[in-house]
Structure 1
Amino acid sequence: MIPTLTGSVSPNELGRVLMHEHVFVLNAELMVNYPEMFPQDEMVRRAVAVLGEVGKTGIDTFVDLSVMGTGRNVPVLRRIAEQVDLNILVATGWYTYHEAPVFAQLNGPGRLFDGPDPLAEMFVRDIRDGIGGTGVRAAVLKCSADKYGMTDGVMNIMQAVADAHLETGAPIFTHSDPGNETGPAQLDYLESRGIDLSGVVVGHCGDTDEIDRLRRMADRGAVLGMDRFGLESRLPYEARVRTVVDMCRLGYADRMVIATDSSVFSMNFPDEHRREHLPLWDARAVMPRVVTDLRASGVGDDDIDQMMQRNPARILHGSCR
């Protein structure tokens, strides 16, 4: 069974899945020192309203990829999940573009204080036993690499994620930057560890419309996260739709998943900016807008079901424990 915030579900109960989303993107230190920046009760009400609308559009499951480094807060998320008709899955991992947390730089194999990797131990515990004292188990693993490339800190996290995957079988989701070719570099490392790439979702592949680049990753067995619909600053919406259409025509529907990578609230993106400049960057737009436009461009229902139901069920089956 696949763990969610409110229990467990079987793969065939997932329905339509958004595979790379966030309820909140936060900064833990800001929340501790400036709690007025995150009025919890107000934000819970806001999230319940938004996610309720997501569910009404026909989405059944929402994979929240906020991890440590982006303010994951399981007790708050569970309050929300208990009030919406939506399966919400949570992740474990650490989000960084450059440095690993200092304690992880100092502790672990071959480091100043030699011994077991504390991050890998945390990730395994989150998956097997639950996060903190919540009893909520993480369903997936998350790592990231962006404009600085595969730094020592990024590799520190990736090593721990790979170790945890090899011990638990949990699927791996990444944040990548097509402009810096970090997706292929992530696959190179994971493949070098003997990891089956069919259980790896390379995030933000939809930020490029270079079909050959996408095909090279898909041909290695990896799944492409076409997961930033509406983030116009990275690639226009129309180009994102056209790329998915072209990839489906080439037979790659079984190697893509759909999402927006948006959030109900983010400390990184002011609400006013999102409303003015990114109106389509919203999980509520996937079914009525994205799926409608894909269909109008020739993508059949079978391919849509493949990307939104069968691929997620196959990938998340690795979460069954």
Structure 2
Amino acid sequence: MLQTVTGKISEHEAGTMLVHEHILVGFVKDAKLTSADYDRQEVVALTLPLLMQLKEAGCSTFVDCAPEYLGRDPYILKELSEKSGLYFITNTGFYKEPYLPSFVYQANHQELSDIWIKEARDGIGESGVYPGYIKIALNDGTAIDETQQKILRAAIRTSLETGLPIQCHTIGGDVALHANEIMKQAGFDRERFIWVHAQTGKDLTVHKQLADEGMWISIDSILPGTYDEHVVLLKQLQAYKVSADKILLSQDTGWYTVGEEKGGHIRPYHHLLTDFIPYAIENGLDASWLKQCVTRHPYQAMRIRV
């Protein structure tokens, strides 16, 4: 089952999924973003038409990837779900420096995970909305720093306690390998872990190794103007024999940007389904496999483990 903002759904109900998108994002340092910094009704009014286009394109489930302090708003997502007919999935978890509250630096990983476990069990504040996964981030570079290691360990503990999977903003193969070693040492099943932005890894032998060990490989920057390079990348992943049933496709697009007039430039959500997949089929990728990358694969990656 998947946990949406309006309840649990089955694989059949989940249908076609976008596994990594955004409705609202506010890059405000030191976790100072609050709901007073934007107009909820304006966000709903501006994004709803784009969501109706997405639904018309055949999508059923939208995974919103803004964590707390970076734009997570369960009230907006619940209203958009009710008005659009789409299922929405939100998260628990924290991002990375400089978008963390000060207490994160003093707390240990058990204390952080206790916050997330409570949300998973009791809901997010008074919203009545429950998170469907854990969203975290790792720092850029070649190794994970102390703060983000702590956040990763908190996510591992939360996943083991709640069954929620982890989506992790991870730039480059070196950091993904470091995260993998931490999870192996913890005895953590990488089947619960999604390498977000896996397209940033240039050594595809890393993708093969991590997929073989269970990790999900999320290619999530598929936007107009990038279709050729993504078709090439998907063919290269196949050539490197990266496990075909571990690939996820999404766009990492949208979104209403807090602080910009009327949210700035909010990009449509439907192009992956209406433009990219037909283009990829025309250029030699298998239609049934591409469909699995936006249906069966994301459901398996995002499902709650019992």
TM-score (norm 1): 0.84
Residue 144 of structure 2 aligns to a residue whose secondary structure is coil
Cα deviations by residue, 1:20-70 (Å, 9 ceiling, x for unpaired): 11111124635466x3xx232221111211111111111111111111131
Matches within 5 A, 1:118-129: 118-129=111-122
CA distance in 2, matches of 1:94, 1:174: 10
Q: Distance in 2 between matches of 1:168 and 1:253?
A: 28
In 2: Cα distance, 1:22 partner to 1:215 partner: 28
CA contact 2:113–2:155 (8 Å) conserved in 1? yes
Which residue does the alignment assign to 2:276?
290
Deviation at 1:197, TM superposition (A): 0.8
1:253 and 1:306 in contact (8 A); partners too: no
| Cα pair 1:61 1:88 within 8 Å, conserved | yes
1:195 alignment counterpart:
188
Q: Which amino acid counterpart does residue 212 of structure 1 have in structure 2?
A: T
Which letter maps to 1:300? D
User: Is residue 2:147 matched to residue 1:153?
Assistant: yes
Structure 2: runs of 5+ lacking an equivalent: none
Q: Does 1:263 align with 2:254?
A: yes
Aligned partners of 1:210, 1:106: CA distance in 2, in Å? Answer: 36
1:311 is the counterpart of 2:303: no
> How far apart are 1:243 and its partner, in Å?
0.8
1:48 corresponding residue in structure 2: 48
The correspondence of residues 200-239 of structure 1 with structure 2, limited to 5 A, is 200-208=193-201, 210-230=203-223, 236-239=226-229
TM-superposed CA distance for 1:207, in Å, is 3.0
Aligned to 1:114: none
- Measure the CA separation in 2 of the matches of 1:105 and 1:30: 18
State the Cα RMSD in Å.
2.6
* CA distance, structure 2, for counterparts of residue 153 and residue 271 of structure 1: 34
* Amino acid in structure 2 at the alignment position of 1:198: E
Q: Which residue, 232, 243, 248 being the options, matches 2:233?
A: 243
C-alpha distance in 1 between matches for 2:271 and 2:199:
16
Task: Give the % identical residues.
Answer: 22
5+ residue gaps, structure 1, are 110-116, 276-280
- 1:83-94 superposed matches below 5 A: 83-94=83-94
Alpha-carbon contact 2:68-2:94 (below 8 Å) kept: yes
The answer to whether structure 1 residue 166 and structure 2 residue 172 are counterparts is no
- Helix, strand or coil at the partner of 1:83: helix
Which amino acid letter does the alignment assign opposite residue 158 of structure 1?
L
Aligned-partner Cα distance in 2 for 1:61–1:55: 9
Q: Residue in 2 aligned with 1:278? A: none
Change (3 A) 1:104 1:210: closer
Give the 4+ runs in structure 1 shifted more than 6 A: 268-273
**CA distance in 1 between partners of 2:302 and 2:60 (Å):** 14
Aligned: 1:62 with 2:62: yes
Instruction: Give yes or no for contact 1:67–1:93 (8 Å, CA) kept in 2.
Output: yes
SS in 2 for 1:82: helix
Q: TM-score, normalised by structure 2?
A: 0.88
Helix, strand or coil for the counterpart of 2:23? strand
Aligned to 1:253: 244
Q: Which amino acid aligns with 2:90?
A: V
Give, in angstroms, the shift of residue 212 of structure 1: 2.6
Work out the number of aligned pairs and report it: 301
1:39 matched to 2:35: no
CA contact (8 A) 1:209 1:240 kept: no
The answer (yes or no) to whether the contact 1:104–1:118 under 8 Å persists in 2 is no
User: Contact between 1:17 and 1:308, CA under 8 Å: does it hold in 2?
Assistant: yes
